[in-house]
């Protein structure tokens, strides 16, 4: 069976840059250009560029837009001011995580919700269902194919952006957004990202994405692929939906309580209050390997000879030069310093729980 893969407007750019293209959530995306570790290091040291146009971009408009978003997410949406962005979870009635998203408040009655590529359809259906049921006046508009998205990440990005959009970096504090021009190209710019580094996510018309990409590359930003993105987000302790959490996990056990407004009415709030009261049986913990080896998704976690959980993400951290990972463990083992062992292809290797994030940038 051949799978039909979508391509972003940057496909030709990636191929011209010798990107190694791979299927990802129905899209043909670059896994790497010069190399995963070199790209990850560039983002930590200078500036990197990622094509994230495959992610879903869904607009909600109308008098009930805030109410619909408030209902399907864990955020207190009406409290979010104009031109602000917020990380949130889209959950079902049981508190299961349908997706993790960022939304931007673009107007009094206008929001933009960014969904993971793999969950775009699920998020869309969930929005449609509640629109039909409770908030019929909301206009939903999936503009994923019309609007591109480039993540521009790294400590040098504010200075570099200043050359093509003077004053913008100063104006945009973290988790703010503005409709503006970058080197003459109309774009929505948010000071957001998924790398643990300072940076911006820039959304021009899809047809302008190649022009903007070349421009940012000329400023010195290094093209980066999905591989580097995964390394960077793990170092920053950022979860990946479908890997570290899914519809069978809830935000409490995933360690995302701080993104749950338990006093704001929503489809999931009753379930989450109850989980919060009783305490989850397992919690997501960060760990580092004490022995030699790399933990990978799906490996069993042991403590005192018993299986206590499972690795969800693991890898080598180039920034810390250490082998790190995330996994669900029995809640009593989640606190720092718990001794664990990971079954690495039949060999038990020592690990210990550590604080998240593994890496945090120095703030100016």
Partner 1 sequence: MYPTDRRYTKEHEWVVLEDDGRALVGITEYAQEQLGDVVFIDLPKPGSKLAQNEKLGEVESVKAVSDLFSPVSGEVAEVNRELLDHPEMINEDPNSKGWMVRLASVAPADVQGLMSAEQYEEYLASLG
Q: Which residues bind partner 1 (CB under 8 A)?
A: 31-32, 35-38, 227, 231, 292-294, 296, 315-316, 323, 345
Choose between 183 and 294: whose C-beta lies nearer to partner 1.
294
Nearest-approach distance from CB 35 to partner 1, in angstroms: 6
Which residue number, 40 or 245, has a Cβ lying nearer to partner 1?
A: 40
Nearer to partner 1, 212 or 351 (CB): 351
Q: Min. distance of Cβ 294 from partner 1 in angstroms?
A: 5
Nearest distance from C-beta of residue 272 to partner 1, angstroms? 35
Taking the complex as a whole, how short is the minimal distance between the CB of residue 237 and partner 1, in angstroms?
18
CA angle 133, 135, 141 (to 5 degrees): 105
Shortest Å, Cβ 293 to partner 1 = 7
Closer to partner 1 at the Cβ: 210 or 225?
225
By beta-carbon proximity to partner 1, the closer residue of 45 and 294 is 294
Q: Which is nearer to partner 1, 31 or 185 (CB)?
A: 31
Of 56 and 314, the one with the shorter C-beta distance to partner 1 is 314
Q: Which is nearer to partner 1, 47 or 232 (CB)?
A: 232
**CB burial string 50-85: b at 16+ within 10 A, e below:** bbbbbbbbbbbbbebbbbbbbbbbbbbbeebeebbb
| 3-state DSSP assignment of residue 128 | helix
Q: In what order do the strands lie in the sheet with 150-153?
A: 177-182, 185-190, 199-204, 150-153, 48-51, 222-224
Which residues is 301 bridged to in the sheet? Answer: 309, 342
On whether the CB atoms of residues 352 and 340 are closer than 8 A, the answer is: yes
Burial of 138-171, coded b for 16+ CB within 10 Å and e otherwise, reads: bebebebeebbbbbbbbbbbbebbeebbeebbee
CA atoms of 165 and 142, how far apart (whole Å):
28
CB 359 within 8 A of CB 319: yes
Nearer to partner 1 (CB atom), residue 211 or residue 296 = 296
What pairs with residue 140 in β-bridges?
60
According to DSSP, residue 243 is labeled: T
Beta carbon of residue 238, minimum distance to partner 1 (angstroms, whole number)? 17
Cα(151)–Cα(47) distance, rounded to whole angstroms? 10
Q: How far is the CB of 292 from partner 1 (least distance, A)?
A: 7
In Å, what is the CA distance from 124 to each residue of 4, 48, 131, 276?
Answer: 20, 30, 10, 28
CB 326 within 8 A of CB 312: yes
Q: What is the DSSP letter of 215?
A: H
Kindly state the smallest distance separating residue 227's Cβ from partner 1, in Å: 6
Least separation in angstroms between residue 36's CB and partner 1 is 5
Give every CB contact of residue 185 below 8 A, 6+ residues apart in sequence.
Answer: 204, 208, 211, 212, 215
- Cα–Cα distances in angstroms (integers) from residue 232 to residues 20, 153, 238, in the given order: 19, 11, 9
């Amino acid at each position: 069976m051949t799978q039909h893969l979508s391509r972003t407007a940057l496909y030709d750019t990636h191929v011209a840059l010798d990107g190694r293209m791979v299927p990802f959530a129905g899209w043909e995306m670059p896994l790497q250009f010069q190399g995963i570790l070199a790209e990850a290091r560039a983002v930590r040291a200078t500036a990197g560029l990622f094509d994230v146009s495959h992610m879903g971009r869904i607009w909600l408009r109308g008098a009930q837009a805030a109410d619909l978003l408030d209902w399907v997410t864990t955020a207190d949406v009406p409290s979010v001011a104009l031109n602000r962005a917020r990380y949130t979870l889209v959950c079902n009635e049981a508190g299961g995580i349908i997706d993790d998203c960022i939304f931007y408040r673009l107007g009094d009655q206008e929001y933009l919700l960014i969904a993971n590529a793999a969950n775009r359809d699920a998020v869309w259906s969930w929005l449609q269902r509640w629109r039909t049921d409770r908030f019929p006046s909301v206009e939903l508009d999936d503009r994923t194919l019309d609007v591109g998205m480039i993540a521009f990440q790294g400590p040098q990005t504010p200075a570099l952006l200043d050359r093509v959009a003077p004053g913008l970096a100063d104006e945009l504090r973290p988790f703010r957004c503005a409709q503006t021009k970058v080197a003459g190209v109309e774009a929505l710019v948010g000071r957001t990202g998924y790398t643990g580094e300072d940076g911006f996510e820039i959304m021009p018309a899809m047809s302008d994405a190649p022009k903007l990409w070349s421009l940012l590359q000329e400023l010195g930003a290094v093209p980066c692929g999905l591989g580097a993105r995964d390394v960077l987000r793990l170092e920053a302790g950022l979860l990946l939906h479908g890997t570290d959490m899914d519809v069978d996990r809830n935000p409490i056990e995933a360690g995302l309580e701080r993104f749950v407004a338990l006093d704001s009415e929503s489809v999931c709030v009753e379930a989450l209050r109850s989980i919060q009261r009783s305490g989850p049986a397992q919690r997501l913990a960060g760990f580092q390997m004490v022995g030699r080896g790399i933990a990978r998704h799906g490996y069993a976690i042991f403590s005192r000879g018993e299986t206590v959980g499972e690795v969800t993400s693991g890898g080598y951290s180039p920034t810390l030069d250490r082998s790190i990972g995330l996994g669900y463990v029995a809640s009593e083992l989640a606190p720092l310093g718990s001794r664990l062992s990971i079954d690495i292809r039949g060999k038990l290797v020592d690990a210990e729980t550590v604080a998240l994030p593994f890496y945090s940038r120095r703030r100016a």
